[in-house]
Structure formats: C-alpha cells, structure tokens
Structure 1
C-alpha cells in the first residue's frame, strides 16, 4: 500500500511539474530585455577624468543597451512590455520568432564585444569619449521619446 501511495505521489508531482513548466513556457515574453538600463549619464569632464579601461567598459555597456533597444523601438522602449500589450497573438510561432530575435541579438552583441575587446583598446581616448557621449545622447533621446509616447 505504501508503494502505491509513493508511486501515485511521485506521478502526481511529475505531472504537476510538467504542467507548470508548460504554463511558464506559454507566458508572453518581453519584447525588450528587462536588463537594459543605464544607471548614470556622464558629461565631458567626467569622461576626460576616467582611465581608458573604464571608458572601454562604459562604451561596451552603451553598445549593449543600444543593440538591445533599437530593433524594437517601434514597440516603445520600456523593458518588460510583451507582445500581448500590443495585441500581438501569443502564439507558438510568435513566441519562437521573439526568442529567435533575442538569440540573434545576444549573438550579435557577443560578436561585437569580442571584436571590440581586441580592437577598441587601440582607439584614441578623445574619439572614445565622443562615442560614449553620442551613445548617451541617443539613449537620452530614446528616453524622452518614451516619455512623450506612452502606450
């Protein structure tokens, strides 16, 4: 009798676990990754006072945010917004397309950082600072766009 009870319990837990996994799998996914945010914007003086290693790190952070946001700005710029928020059906095909997009974005970012880590250290500090300021200005513009166009 104990063996039947144990087997029944294990079977029930297994079925419940599979059901839970399926329901999470079918949940709408965020169009823009939730890990894209900038904690601080810098001015020219701050950047000029930084060592080149810190500038390289800032540059790569800004590149990551831009790579993850720009392809999806037609949907807005708020992380956590799902396809369902825009009336896009939460079908298997649409979820797969979004997952493929996220994988392609991640792969592109990793390839870009691999290239940047080898080549970027040879860049001129003034050009690196100008690029960081440009990316930050772009991100500020996107943020203002997001505030004006609430969805």
Structure 2
C-alpha cells in the first residue's frame, strides 16, 4: 500500500514538472492576452450605470491601454509572439520581455490602487467622458494597422 502511494506521488511530481517545463518554453504573447475589452459603450448606456460600475470600466480600460500602447510599433493585438514578428527567441529577448511585463504589473498595481482610492471622488460626467475617450483610443488601435 505504501509503495503504491509512493509510486503515485513520484508520478504526480514528474507529471507536474513536465507540464511546468513546457509552460516555460511556450512562446509568450508580446501584448498580454488579458488586454481585451469585452464590450464598448455609448454615453446613454454609461449614464445609466452606478459610479462603482463606471469605476470598474475605467480601470479595465486603463489596464488595456497600459498593456497595449508601449507595443504599437510592433503589434496592436494580443496573442502575437516574438517569433510571429521575426524577433529572435533568445534568452536575452525573453528576459527583456519578462522585465517589461513585471514592470507593467508593478505600475498597474500602483495605478489601480490609486484609482480605487481617488476616483470615487470624481464627477460622474468626467468619469463617463474618460471611459468614452479610452474606448475611442482603443477602437483607433484596431485601425492603426491600416495606416
């Protein structure tokens, strides 16, 4: 009985190690795959929302913009990897991409904390205008490749 438990434990450990090793070697997207807007809104729709809902939309749009704008000279959509663009998949390039992702995460954590503390004091009309501005900016990124 003990040998079965030991054997299953070893098998589980090896399986876990193999899966995590494959995940490290998988190509990473330059723009985070979470940098997506599920739905765009109009002013009438936003006016009917509570301030808390507007704040969440505002924060979501900031996150998408921060995860997208630094890369528009390379790519404007999530899911594109370095290999897709012909960038060598070297350890140095991966290190730069990882460092950028880490810096972006730290920046976003600080920014979101600030937004959650300060934006509840903002005027609802200004919050709606900012959301619409961010959404228009994001829509224009979809047209960026046509230029």
TM range, smaller chain:
0.7 to 0.9
Give 1:122-137 correspondences, 5 Å limit.
122-137=121-136
Deviation per CA, 1:62-111, whole angstroms, max 9, x where unpaired?
00100100111111212110111111111111111101111111111110
Aligned to 1:39: 38
**TM-score (norm. length: structure 1):** 0.82
Give 1:1-151 correspondences, 5 Å limit.
14=14, 21-146=20-145, 148=146
Pairwise CA distance, 1:140:
0.5
Pairwise CA distance, 1:25:
2.1
Q: Tell me, yes or no, if the aligned pair for 1:28 and 1:95 is still in contact at 8 Å.
A: no
Larger Rg: 1
Gaps of 5+ in 1: none
Number of residue equivalences: 140
**TM-score (norm. length: structure 2):** 0.84
In the alignment, the residues of structure 2 paired with residue 54 and residue 20 of structure 1 have an alpha-carbon distance, to the nearest angstrom, of 38
Pairwise CA distance, 1:144:
1.8
RMSD across aligned positions (CA): 2.2
In the alignment, the residues of structure 2 paired with residue 140 and residue 18 of structure 1 have an alpha-carbon distance, to the nearest angstrom, of 41
Deviation per CA, 1:90-148, whole angstroms, max 9, x where unpaired?
111111110111111111111000011111100011111110010000001001224x2
Pairwise CA distance, 1:26:
2.9
Gaps of 5+ in 2: none
SS in 1 for 2:72: helix
CA pair 96-46 structure 1, distance change in 2 beyond 3 A: same
